[in-house]
Chains A and B, each alone.
Chain A
């Protein structure tokens, strides 16, 4: 077979795949468009301490979604009105880079309600987890920047913030890990990407405390039958635990690395 023939076959196959994927989120072999199985996570890459100025920072990739987090604090509050007399005030800002969406280049203002809503959710997720009562009258700032967007904004924001907070050495009760799961024609899918999100799949994002198994955040905005809630939540919780293992491994590696470097021997 000549190279031209091979090339032709590949082109045909690719067209077939793209045709198939346009209609079906799950192919005949039970594989999703990006080749994952239903209960498979996207590939996670993460790295703590990536910035020099911030007190703590982290970079994380989940598939094609990429996020950078920086944590400052506990530091003096910027506005006097934000002082809370017995605990620290947490402030979260999220921005979506104008080049983050492949289809449209659109600058989203900081007062975009969707981003504000996610920021408020991230803030409230960490409020009971961070031991804020240790830092009365101070402020902890979490800045999140989405560099590339392919679905799962809330989950990546929470995962990145967790890593950055750990890197900043801010005392927390536990890790928080977030993951999404959805339901498509009786298949329960884990960790949806943008195409799957856009296909009107009910998507539930969950933030879990992996050790105690409690849920801090649940977000869903499309129709899912009451009886389906439990299995979807279960799968999302499994995903969270898997993410936790990856994050935990990275943090341990990083800490070990630091200690080896600073050890006098």
Chain B
């Protein structure tokens, strides 16, 4: 999993593709995350963004929109097809993901889930490999419980940048807190740039949808004015 929960994160500087980062390859325990590669004895960037470090892990935060599956990440996907033993799921990556019929809590050959094409699901990436189609599962592998994975009923999906999903998840932006003070809503944040949201009425859903959509490019102060403007 990405180091979303780690406490200290330091933004080091803005980097551009091809920049060499002044880090020693030989630093003990150094881990390179997305956007950094080792070229000989140097570490160079491949993306434009902010270099972030947390402990000895380094990566680049970008405003990427296209999802590249990573094992362990949670995603919101749409069932796009049905095979003999699995569903095809569109998670926004280059290839459609596979969700086997057995990848559910208490699933057996006879007891299989029943989804229709077009349904939304919340799942965990169980296998991600650049040479294979990504695979999903709808349970937590540590305790084999569903834990909220599965079909998402009603609601609406917001497509946004991958970075914004992370910000929402880590509560880096206050928008959820601010909205939560005014009305009740439910969120399932996928790391694939899709956020499922629901509330009691359609009016509230569309309000939350628009607030979240507009808050993507706002800082916390601006979020406050936005929420007070939208929610009367």
Instruction: Give A contacts to B, CB under 8 Å.
Output: 85-86
Contact = CB atoms under 8 A, between A and B. Distances in A.
B113 interface: no
Nearest to B116: A86
B117 interface: yes
B81 interface: yes
A203 B117 CA distance: 43
Contacts of B117: 85-86
Interface in B67-98: 81
Contacts of B81: 85
Interface string B95-123: 00000000000000000000001000000
Nearest to B82: A85
A219 B4 CA distance: 57
Q: 3 smallest A-B Cβ distances: which pairs?
A: A85-B117, A85-B81, A86-B117
B116 to A, nearest CB: 9
Nearest to A85: B117
A85 to B, nearest CB: 6
Contacts, number: 3
Interface residues of B, number: 2
A82 B117 CA distance: 17
Contacts of A86: 117
A201 B81 CA distance: 50
A86 B81 CA distance: 11
A84 to B, nearest CB: 11
Nearest to B117: A85
A85 B81 CA distance: 8
3 contacts: A85-B81, A85-B117, A86-B117
A87 to B, nearest CB: 12
B119 to A, nearest CB: 13
A85 B117 CA distance: 9
A86 B118 CA distance: 11
Contacts of A85: 81, 117
A45 to B, nearest CB: 46
A156 to B, nearest CB: 38
Nearest to B81: A85
A166 B117 CA distance: 32
A202 B81 CA distance: 48
Nearest to A86: B117
A80 to B, nearest CB: 12
B203 to A, nearest CB: 31
Interface string B24-54: 0000000000000000000000000000000
A85 B118 CA distance: 11
A83 to B, nearest CB: 10
A85 B78 CA distance: 15
B89 to A, nearest CB: 14
A14 B117 CA distance: 68
A85 B80 CA distance: 10
A105 B81 CA distance: 49
Interface string B1-16: 0000000000000000
A81 to B, nearest CB: 14
B218 to A, nearest CB: 40
A86 B117 CA distance: 9
A85 B79 CA distance: 12
A85 B116 CA distance: 11
A54 to B, nearest CB: 32
B140 to A, nearest CB: 31
A88 B117 CA distance: 16
A216 to B, nearest CB: 26
B79 to A, nearest CB: 11
Interface in B105-148: 117
Nearest to B80: A85
A247 B48 CA distance: 67
A33 B117 CA distance: 58
A129 B40 CA distance: 66
B43 to A, nearest CB: 44
A118 B45 CA distance: 54
